[in-house]
Every structure is written in C-alpha cells, then in structure tokens.
Amino acid sequence: MKTPLDAKRIEAILHSLRGGRVVVVGDVMLDVFVFGEVTRISPEAPVPVVRVTEETERLGGAANVALNVKSLGGRAALVGVVGGDLARDHLAKVARARGVEARLVALAGRATTVKTRIMAHQHQMVRTDREATEPIDAAVEAKLLAQVGKVLTRGSALIVSDYQKGVVTRSFMRSLIALARRRGARVLVDPKVRNIGLFRGAFLVTPNQKEAEEISGMAIHTDADAERAVHRIARIAGTEGALVTRGEEGMSLGLKVSGKFSYWHVRATAREVFDVTGAGDTAIATLALALVAGALPHEAMMLSNLAAGVAVGKLGTSSVTPAEIRAAQ
C-alpha cells in the first residue's frame, strides 16, 4: 500500500511534535571527530599524516537518538550506562549543552564507549573504539529501570537503542517492556541481529536491510520480498510489526492491524548520500516522536524517511530539525 503524505499533513505532524515525550534507553556513546588535512606520507610507515585543524565531541548511539528527539522539538530523556572516567563527564556536558535530559548510571572500572573518527578532506581515514561490552548485572538493571520509571509517562514512547555494548539483556528487556505496557507507552527497538529475540511485546523493531535479511533468512530485492521479510521478522521478534530501512529503496513497514498484517512502502528522497553515520538514529527518533504526536504508523514512517534523507546529507552523527524536513519535501 502506498499512501502519499501531502505537505499540509506533514506540516500538521511537524507542528504536533513539539513537547512530545520520548525516553531513550540503550548503549550511550561519545563520538569524537578529529578533522584535518593530509599533505604528506609518514616517513615512519606508509600511512598519511593528518594535520589536525579541528576536534569536536558529539552524542552517539542512544545519545544521538535522544538528541534527534530534542532537535525535532520533543522532550528527550536518555537512560544508559557510562564509565567512571573523563569521557563520562564530557558526554554529560555535551548532553546538557544540547538540552538532553541524561540519567546515566556510572560504573567504576567500566569504560564509557568512545568512537573517535579521524577525518581528512571529508573522508574518514580511520576509527578507534574504546568500549566495554560486558552485559550489565541485575543491580545495574534495577538502577536503569528506576530511572526509566521516573520519566516514562502515559502517552510517551520508549526507544531501545541496541549497539551490543551490554545494556540490552534478556531480563532487563523483559522488565522494561513490562513497565512500558503498564504506562501505556509504545516500545520501538533499533535491534542488533543476535538480540532479536529479546524484544517480545514491543511495538516495532526497525532493522536495516542487511540486518533484516539476516534475521529473516531472505534476500530483499522488491517490495513483495520486503513484505514477506517484515512479517517473518515481526513473528521472530514477537512484536506487532517491523520497519525495514532499505537505503535508496526507502522504507517498508508491516504492521498487524485488527489481526491482519498490512504493508506500506515509501521511496527514499532523492539527494546525495554524504554519510550514513547515525541515519538510523534519526529515523527511529522521528518515527517514535511522530507516533507520540498522533501520526498513523505509515505517516510516521514517511516523515521518518524524509528525516533520514536529510541526515545522510550531513557529515557524521547529526540531528535533524523540522525546518530541514520541510525543505526536503
């Protein structure tokens, strides 16, 4: 089913985004971008020497999802785990500066996840990761759940942002989804393949095409392929539906409506793809906030598709504003 979303309806949804509450739980990261120029090769080894001209710190992972909620006009609360290190302080500082309410549980002896990208002439030269991926224990799960309980209100949405850094465990997801159900909040999950069975009872999972093909065991070439895949993914995940982001092919949504699956597809907006980093964060943030604002699921998908189209035109992890979505129509 292909239903157009006209400019008037887009404007109505964008206007309704303001003030919507979305809670983001998951793997929090600090993204560091080191920009520079390459003018010579090192005499020590056959590698380029990057002369640094600028360095910036940005919210990454679940934190970037929360930032996108905020930049779209919503109220974003971020819940996750950080280490007992300087990166934790830097991450908290950036979150405060961007207006994201961060409720972070600090663990001594654990490293805050930091991804550092060395960029030269608008290309990524190398990336370094500092991280801990050990699953959180029951005591930490309880602390995180308590923080979520303080900010998850009726009518809000809960996003689980899974980057396989230890926050997504079976017991924590069971407790988290149960809490969301009691609060009447929809749960949307950006999953990793190996964890797909941990989100039973959520509203939607939003894998990209590669992940969707791995989960479903199917190649996706056509809309019909996508429909079969999203139906299978929803059954495997135990959710009401699934949304697959398909790159230049757009997005495909399958959702159980009155006991029967319905499907919608939207093509990607035509623009140059500059950097796909963080585009999935933008997509799920827009999707969740639009649903909170009262958009129908297929309308939320179409708005999400516009927002993702804006995000891939930017360098690195980034957020999208309503004005940019308006301009992208």
Which sequence positions are flagged as catalytic? 281
Helices within 201-269 (DSSP H only): 209-216, 223-237
**CA distances, 298 to each of 235, 242, 289 (Å):** 19, 12, 13
Are 275 and 312 in contact by the 8 Å Cβ rule? The answer is yes
Both structure tokens of 223:
């809309």
Instruction: Please name the residues in contact with 152: beta carbons below 8 A apart, sequence gap of 6 or more.
Output: 23, 77, 158, 179, 180, 183, 185
Following CA atoms 232, 235, 239, 243 in sequence, which dihedral angle do they give, to the nearest 10 degrees? 0
* Residue 121 CB coordination number (10 Å): 11
- Residue 143 φ/ψ, nearest 5 degrees: -65, -40
